[in-house]
Chains A and B, each alone.
Chain A
Amino acid sequence: MVAFDEMKPDTSGIRRPYSGYDSWLKDQDTARLAEKMRDAERVFRKTGITFAVYGEAEAAERLIPFDIVPRIISGQEWRKLTQGIEQRVQALNAFLDDIYHRQEILRAGRVPKELIANNEAFLPEMIGVRPPGGVYTHIIGTDIVRTGEDEFFVLEDNARTPSGVSYMLENRETMMQLFPELFQRVKVRPVEDYPKLLRQSLAAVRPAAVKGNATIAVLTPGLYNSAYFEHAFLADQMGVELVEGQDLRVVDGHVAMRTTEGYKQIDVLYRRVDDAFLDPLTFNPDSALGVPGIMDVYRAGNITIANAPGTGIADDKAIYSYMPDIIEFYTGRKAILGNIPTWRCSEPDSLKYVLEHLSELVVKEVHGSGGYGMLVGPTATKKEREDFGKKLAARPSNYIAQPTLALSTCPILTEKGLAPRHVDLRPYVLVSDRIQIVPGGLTRVALKEGSLVVNSSQGGGTKDTWVLDD
């Protein structure tokens, strides 16, 4: 399987977007670059840019490896990507509104009813609820993979609580510290506006009754959450409070936080807590992470929750395979960005095919995330495939399968110099009364040679992502 290399696709030379970088690189000394790489690690350690890996007692806080070779996208490529993403995001919001109201797409038979009714991500509590500003999914991180010069596909929609945006910002900050001269030579579009845009975007969808400035807070599960650094980082950068469930309670029909001067009303909550833990009175009664009664406040229209409860139904892996239909249904046009062909193992013919072709496919759990519980057929051992096949046959509707894509590669700096590794891309989208996409995103890279798994929990790293101002 030959992958498309974004810097040097064949012997003919360097691709245009990388030409400026390449000419700079030629003047660099490899030993100095390696030293810069260690500098970067020190910066991350010192700043405490870490994430926790569940189940690893010793390395409670780990760094996500950072690679100093940027991933570069031309202005023209970016324009096409953003058009596709905007269309997709519009469709996702229209789909959510429809699913929690008239359910026309189900009546039209374009998406099977049972896929919604039997889905844990569908929240009956949201039926008939219209969120402030009519927005369901405010912050989206669309995972995109590339397989060739003009071939981009959406891998996942991440419409509930996408993480990683702090790495996009810190990676850029680090690169600018390490190589200031490089940014003089290559014109890169800035990403540092993101926190400001996020704040504006959240303020724009405040409850209608709130005149004047909205009070915004970020809700974190707390210190021991894997993405705690990011929660603190975003609250800090936006200049809003970072709250935990224990800080909040419902006071006079509003959600309020306990301050040194008493309780103060919150208008917009950017929550990084899953639906199930949001309100112990409505969902998981054992949750100490949420706010008892917040769903009543929400249904009364007195608080904006971003993203809205129940958005998970739109990025469910089983729904994913219907996205081309969903986009066409709501926008009236064909999807600009394609899906990866997907076999739904719930369908007998597909299951048969998948079981017969396990060695070629990637099989994922419908509700899984973070690269856990998935099988990468071509790199799995025979035993692993057999074991997985049994699980799959026992609960077929729990799985989908996709072809193993030759993800594009981008060079990383290794001990032996530059070497290609597979990458994906997660741009971040903000939805309020408009759709905004910061020019850049998080490039995740599989550090192991030949590996296709880019997840940070599975040993992946990240790169700074450049969108050229050309």
Chain B
Amino acid sequence: MLLGRTANGLYWMSRYIERAENMARLLDAGLRMALTRTASSSEEWNSVVVSAGCDFAFRARHPEVSATAVADFLLRDITNPSSVLASIETARSNARMVRTALTRDTWESINEAWMAIRRALAKPVDQRDLTTVLDLVKRETAQIRGTFHGTMLRNEIFDFAQLGTFIERADNTARILDVKYYVLLPSIHWVGSSLDNYQWESILRSVSAHRSYRWVYEADYRPTNIAEYLILDARMPRSLAFCYRSIADSLRFLADAYGARHACHDSAAAIQAKLRGGTIKEVFDTGLHEFLAGFIQDNNRLGDEVARHYRFY
């Protein structure tokens, strides 16, 4: 037996932990790019803001794009609901709300992450300390995930939290790919060619896949390969296919536990079928942007359906 409000709290707790981590990874990739690039870095920082999905809000607060402004906005700005600080606050407040559903270890790891991150972000972060702070955020969120997986009972509580994690992650990967791809691709005719451009690494780096990509493709960064890897490769833990395998698992466990299937089960199965059966050629035939935009929409709709069927509100 689980309260609808508790399921809702678990779902958003996980989404925001995931978001805090993704934001740190995105900034890390941007930082890396700015350091290795010879030309003006403002373009790169601009693409970080766009990938984070908050360019409009950013522009309302900062007239110019600079490393300092972007880092501050994505890390510390509490008016930006997706900043690391705002995300960890929201995650912790949801965790407090569902505290009785969490193991003591899980609650304490979230509470400690919140304390550590809040301390680290209490003052503007000096550029020289940025890497240290980003490492801290990644470490703290990894710690939460480790404790969660190591101590939580595999029941519906676990499933609702997993749904939050993977719906958020799928959204994040799809958005990064959509934005960066078109920022970086010189012309659509280059799609199939091999590009010796370290910028491509930034896409992979923002989803921590720059090493594993080479294990799989052993070659240069080829736009089609990158897209295939992030969309269809179910072995890659941040790919859309991987996220949807986890989502489908969690939904199946819920259906078994409650003895009832809902429309959200069919929606998830439909999305998963597209990812499992599809080839990257078909994706490009549809148009990558159209494909990703459709995916982001379906993914959001699935989140709403889960909330409705399991009485989050």
Contact = CB atoms under 8 A, between A and B. Distances in A.
B5 to A, nearest CB: 5
A212 to B, nearest CB: 15
B302 to A, nearest CB: 16
Contact of B311 (A46, A243, A262): A262
A47 interface: yes
A102 interface: no
Nearest to A264: B1
Contacts of A241: 1, 3, 100
A223 B93 contact: yes
Interface stretch (A31-39, A228-236, A300-308): A228-236
Contacts of A261: 1, 258, 260
B99 A244 contact: no
B255 to A, nearest CB: 12
A222 B98 CA distance: 11
Given A46-B108, A46-B112, A48-B107, A260 B156 contact: yes
A352 interface: no
Contact of A260 (B7, B93, B96, B108): B7
B111 A259 contact: no
Contacts of A247: 3-5
B219 interface: no
B93 A259 contact: no
B97 interface: yes
Contacts of B107: 48
A449 B104 CA distance: 36
B99 A47 contact: no
Contacts of B260: 261
Nearest to B95: A48
Nearest to B254: A260
Nearest to B96: A223
B4 A258 contact: yes
Contacts of B99: 48, 232, 236, 242
A44 to B, nearest CB: 11
B188 interface: no
B270 interface: no
A260 B311 contact: yes
Size range of the interface on B?
Answer: 20 to 34
B78 to A, nearest CB: 14
Max chain B Cβ within 10 angstroms of own Cβ: one of A48, A222, A236? A48
Given A260-B258, A260-B310, A242 B108 contact: no
Contact of B100 (A223, A236, A262): A236
A419 to B, nearest CB: 31
A46 B115 CA distance: 9
A420 B285 CA distance: 81
A399 to B, nearest CB: 38
Contacts of B108: 46-48
A46 B111 CA distance: 7
Contacts of B122: none
A196 interface: no
A45 interface: yes
B39 interface: no
A242 B111 contact: no
A242 B108 CA distance: 19
Contacts of B4: 247, 258-260
B35 interface: no
A215 B4 CA distance: 17
B3 A235 contact: no
B235 to A, nearest CB: 32
Interface residues of A, number: 23
A445 interface: no
A41 to B, nearest CB: 13
B5 A246 contact: yes
B2 A260 contact: yes
Interface in A40-62: 45-48
A257 interface: yes
Contacts of B160: 260
A253 B258 CA distance: 25
A241 to B, nearest CB: 6
Contacts of A46: 108, 111-112, 115
A436 to B, nearest CB: 24
Max chain B Cβ within 10 angstroms of own Cβ: one of A46, A228, A243, A259? A259
A257 B311 CA distance: 11
Interface in B160-207: 160
A259 B112 contact: no
B223 to A, nearest CB: 42
Contacts of A243: 3
Contact of A258 (B3, B97, B111): B3
A45 B115 contact: yes
Given A260-B7, A260-B258, A262-B311, A48 B1 contact: no
B70 to A, nearest CB: 28
Nearest to B111: A48
Interface in A384-425: none
Interface in B92-130: 93, 96-97, 99-100, 104, 107-108, 111-112, 115
B100 A235 contact: yes
A347 B147 CA distance: 63
A48 B115 CA distance: 10
Given A47-B108, A48-B107, A48-B111, A259 B97 contact: no
Contacts of B93: 223
A258 B96 contact: no
Max chain A Cβ within 10 angstroms of own Cβ: one of B3, B96, B108, B311? B3
A453 B177 CA distance: 61
Nearest to A45: B115
B307 to A, nearest CB: 11
B89 to A, nearest CB: 11
A48 B1 CA distance: 26
B5 A258 contact: yes
Nearest to A222: B97
A228 B107 CA distance: 15
A414 B201 CA distance: 58
Interface string A239-269: 0011110110000000001111110100000
Interface of B: 1-5, 7, 93, 96-97, 99-100, 104, 107-108, 111-112, 115, 156, 160, 258, 260, 310-311
23 contacts: A46-B108, A46-B111, A46-B115, A47-B108, A48-B107, A222-B97, A223-B97, A232-B96, A235-B100, A241-B1, A241-B3, A242-B99, A242-B100, A244-B5, A247-B5, A258-B3, A258-B311, A259-B3, A259-B311, A260-B3, A260-B160, A261-B260, A264-B1
Interface of A: 45-48, 222-223, 228, 232, 235-236, 241-244, 246-247, 257-262, 264
Given A232-B96, A259-B3, 9 more contacts: A46-B111, A47-B108, A47-B111, A247-B5, A258-B5, A260-B7, A260-B258, A261-B260, A264-B1
Identify the 4 closest CB pairs spanning chains A and B, nearest first.
A236-B100, A260-B310, A232-B99, A258-B4
